Amino acid sequence: MKKILGISAFYHDSGAALTIGGKIIAAAQEERFTRDKHTPDFPLNAVKYCLEEAGLTIDELDAIVFYDKPLLKFERLLQTYYAFAPKGLVSFLKAIPVWLNEKMFLKKLLLDGLKEVGNYDKKKIKFLFPEHHLSHAASAFFPSPYQKAAILTIDGVGEWCTAAIGVGDGNGIRIIKELEFPHSVGLLYSAFTYYLGFTVNSGEYKLMGLAPYGNPESEETAKFVELIKAHLVDIKEDGSVWLDQSYFNYATGLRMVKDKKWEKLFGFGRRKEESNLEQRHCNLALAIQMVTEEIVLKMAEEAKRLTCSDNLCLAGGVALNCVANGKLLKANIFKEIYIQPAAGDAGGALGAALAASFMYFDDTRVVDPTKDQMFGAYLGPDFSAREIRLMNRKVKAVFKEHDDFSQLAAYISSKIADGNVVGWFQGRMEFGPRALGNRSIIGDARNPEMQKKLNLKIKYREGFRPFAPSVLAEDVSDYFELTTDSPYMLIVAPVKESRRAALPDEYHDLPLWDRLYTKRSDIQSITHLDFSARVQSVHKETNPRYWELINAFKNETGYGLVVNTSFNVRGEPIVCTPHDAYRCFMSTEMDYLVINDFVYSKIEQPDWENREKWVVKFKMD
């Protein structure tokens, strides 16, 4: 029963996770505590939380595991600059001092960070450093419900590896095939994220959300796909890719692409952040999404060929592309697919801990074919009634405490049905980038105005951004063409034909915003322009309170689903504490807030119209 702390840090999305005997005890991202989105800093608060949740000190740990090999990454950096020399001098002069002063001495950085956590005996600490893609692979396979499975990991870059195919069997993982830097699906997608005016390493989900606004019947979209495949990326039959580095600048430069060459290729310049979206931007987003899907499908087919497995486990940042996941599921290459809900770098902390537990210490692995070992990804901190009452006193909140949750659920479901927006804060915080019903903002999916209201008056973000449904697991087939569970909101599926509205002639030729506000279905606010939705199936066994709320809404309206978006505003991490939730509630136009058994009505709060008092400015992402 080894006690292991996993850490990811110093690039982006720092996090920590703790396992005991291979069982996941706690996991959290550092951003949730510091309120600095995608922070790369040592995960001081996340580590403290994990140790407190487990009741452990640093000296009681059997190992501390970092999610990649820094010296191997440094080797890649040096070899890349050497290969491209004399190009990249400015980037070299910026990067190398950081490595020499900090990252080369990673063990010292970790020891210094741990000093802030608590006292420890340096001689007792055992550090382990698995490779980056092994950490990703372990994060997906070991919690999965499979004794044996193919594994596919795809991201920007780890040390050298940018994608890997492996096989997991019992306590072991064997990597069979790798794609190496600078050729990378993740970096290709990030290059388009940059070119279309979004922030790399955080705006990729915006690019995915923009793609449905592209016109699949347009000659321009087809032309963009052709240009991408003719000039930027050569896709091999096994899914491996070759990127023409004469168009890219990420290997040695300070930008993702060579702007002038891309402008000449696509016929328009890089979109500036916050500038108007035009149809050509949407068509290019759709084009790179289509290319990415083709690559992922080919990689999956190669994984099937090499492993002959019926099961596939996915991780790495590209595994968060739920549109590609939906296409992969529909392709039926594998009978079963499991995707790690914290598929990005934060999840690497969990994978590192699990890899050490099973592959180094040989802990006994528990496999349950009926469920995974992620506990619904509800692995973060929770808060007692006493802590919530103390917060209430501090902010002078007006509230009602309920002792009957069924009554609370019925009351809130009626408010949602009346068009109100509710902040929903329950139990342990989710691990990973998706809000799964414990740190969520909820609305009525039937309401055609809800998508606009949530974007502009609650989230304060771009109006095109789509929203996802949380649906009772037993009712999924009533709304979506989906034959499997999707508990982590990682699969996009079509809305059922019977729920779709007839579109006007020349629909695809309408201006972007006209198309957005055209009625598409009876669950308008979660139906994308291409009649798809990013589905979360809610299971009574995993999250009984969230299930009961949605079931109460079904009793009220006949619809067993709600709009679910993360409890935050643009640029802010998902809320962690009751105070985070109350502040966000007061700074937006949310109507109601529920924190465990406590209910708050906006208009009953002191000075409720003075939102500026509660606003915190976050960096735009």
DSSP codes of every residue in 138-198: HHHHTTSS-SEEEEEEE-S-SSSEEEEEEEEETTEEEEEEEEETT--HHHHHHHHHHHTT-
Query: For residue 538, is pLDDT > 90?
Result: yes
Beta-bridge partner residues of 497: none
Please give the C-alpha separations between residue 88 and each of 67, 93, 252, 263, in angstroms, as whole numbers: 28, 9, 4, 22
Token digits of residue 411: 């009351």
DSSP assignment letter at 504: P
Decide: helix, strand or coil at residue 122.
helix
Phi, psi of 336, deg, nearest 5: -130, 140
Q: Say how many Å lie between the first and final Cα of the chain, rounded.
A: 41
pTM, two decimal places:
0.95
DSSP assignment letter at 11: S
**Mean pLDDT calculated for residue range 453-480:** 94
Query: Amino acid letter at 165?
Result: I
CB-based contact 444:450 (threshold 8 Å)? yes
Token digits of residue 324: 């590609």
Report the distance separating Cα 412 and Cα 426, nearest Å: 14
**Mean pLDDT calculated for residue range 516-544:** 96
Q: How confident is the model at residue 335 (pLDDT cuts 50, 70, 90)?
A: very high
Please give the C-alpha separations between residue 444 and each of 19, 405, 550, 563, in angstroms, as whole numbers: 38, 20, 10, 6
Taking CB atoms within 8 Å and a gap of at least 24, the contacts of 96-105 are: 99/74, 102/10, 103/10, 103/70, 103/73, 103/74, 104/70, 104/71, 104/74
Q: How confident is the model at residue 76 (pLDDT cuts 50, 70, 90)?
A: confident
Report the distance separating Cα 100 and Cα 104, nearest Å: 5
Decide: helix, strand or coil at residue 261.
helix
CB atoms within 10 A of CB 473: 18
Query: For residue 464, is pLDDT > 60?
Result: yes
Q: How confident is the model at residue 281 (pLDDT cuts 50, 70, 90)?
A: very high
Q: According to the CATH classification, is domain 144-339 in 3.10.20.30?
A: no
CB-based contact 316:154 (threshold 8 Å)? yes
CB-based contact 22:142 (threshold 8 Å)? yes
Are the folds of 3-132+345-368 and 385-613 the same? no
Q: How confident is the model at residue 84 (pLDDT cuts 50, 70, 90)?
A: low
Give the containing element (helix H, strand E) for 428: none
Among left, alpha and beta (phi > 0; psi -120 to 50; other), residue 369 is: alpha
The pLDDT tens digits for 486-504 are 999 999 999 999 999 998 8
Token digits of residue 380: 């973060």
Q: According to the CATH classification, is domain 3-132+345-368 in 3.30.420.40?
A: yes
Query: For residue 82, is pLDDT > 60?
Result: no
CB-based contact 560:550 (threshold 8 Å)? yes
Of 417, 532, 445, 426, the residue nearest 486 (C-alpha) = 532
The pLDDT tens digits for 232-275 are 999 999 999 999 999 999 887 778 999 999 999 999 999 998 89
Strands 598-601 and 532-538: unpaired
CB-based contact 32:576 (threshold 8 Å)? yes
Query: For residue 421, is pLDDT > 80?
Result: yes
Query: For residue 97, is pLDDT > 80?
Result: no
Token digits of residue 273: 């952040």
**Mean pLDDT calculated for residue range 100-112:** 77
Report the distance separating Cα 82 and Cα 78, nearest Å: 6
High-pLDDT (> 70) share of the chain, %: 95
High-pLDDT (> 90) share of the chain, %: 85
Please state the domain extents for the chain: 3-132+345-368, 144-339, 385-613
385-613, CATH topology level: DHBP synthase (3.90.870)
**Mean pLDDT calculated for residue range 406-411:** 98
**Mean pLDDT calculated for residue range 422-433:** 98
Biggest CA–CA distance in the chain, Å, is: 73
| Residue 100: per-residue pLDDT | 62
CB atoms within 10 A of CB 601: 15
CB-based contact 164:180 (threshold 8 Å)? no
Reduce the secondary structure of 533-559 to three states and give it as a string. Answer: EEEEEECCCCCHHHHHHHHHHHHHHCC
| Residue 251: per-residue pLDDT | 83
| Residue 286: per-residue pLDDT | 98
Q: How confident is the model at residue 194 (pLDDT cuts 50, 70, 90)?
A: very high
